[in-house]
Amino acid sequence: MISENLFICIFLEDDLTRLIANNQTIDMKNAKIILDTLSLTADNRAYYDYTNASCAPLIKISKQQYIRSIRGFLDGAFEFALFRLHNSFPKDWDRNVNTRERTFKEHLYLLFDDDRFLCVPHTILIESNGRASTDIDAAVIDKVTGEIALFQLKWQDPTDYSSFALKSKKNN
């Protein structure tokens, strides 16, 4: 029935976990981690302290029950999940960011695969008043013209959920 999609549907935690496990062919423990990542709970409600926060796809309403947020699934599910992943697994997040930056840099340097260019193999640290303020992720020197191209490698992680995140992105 089409209209049922407009009304609140209550799901049991065990059913959702089993559904995720079966669809992803993973064990129940990892399926529960995915469920937690996609769910707003009492423990992570501080996410909504920020005015621009995306809707959560699932909302835990009791020890074993969840409701589905249609808006959360259609508008901002990835932003919510990324925020949760970043906060729940910071070491993994940072490791993946560093890997992504290294891969991005390798691909960039492939564009300058000519003896004319010198690709700086390390990050260049910029200091202000004795403290690191930012870094230059990649640099290419044209040996013929003497020109230097500096690259600040960026990707579009969501930042609009927090004024602190926006300020940090601006300063970088």
The parent domain of residue 34 ranges over 2-88
Sign of the dihedral defined by the CA atoms of residues 30, 34, 39, 44, in that order: positive
Cα–Cα distance, 125 to 63 (Å, whole number): 49
Q: How many domains does the chain have?
A: 2
pLDDT score of 44: 85
Q: Give the global pTM.
A: 0.66
* pLDDT tens, position by position, 84-139: 888 889 999 888 888 888 899 999 999 999 999 999 999 888 888 888 778 889 99
Are 116 and 104 contained in the same domain? yes
Give yes or no: residues 105 and 133 share one domain.
Answer: yes
Considering the domain architecture, whether residues 105 and 81 belong to the same structural domain is answered as: no
On whether both 107 and 42 belong to a single domain, the answer is no
Q: Tell me: do 45 and 33 sit in the same domain.
A: yes
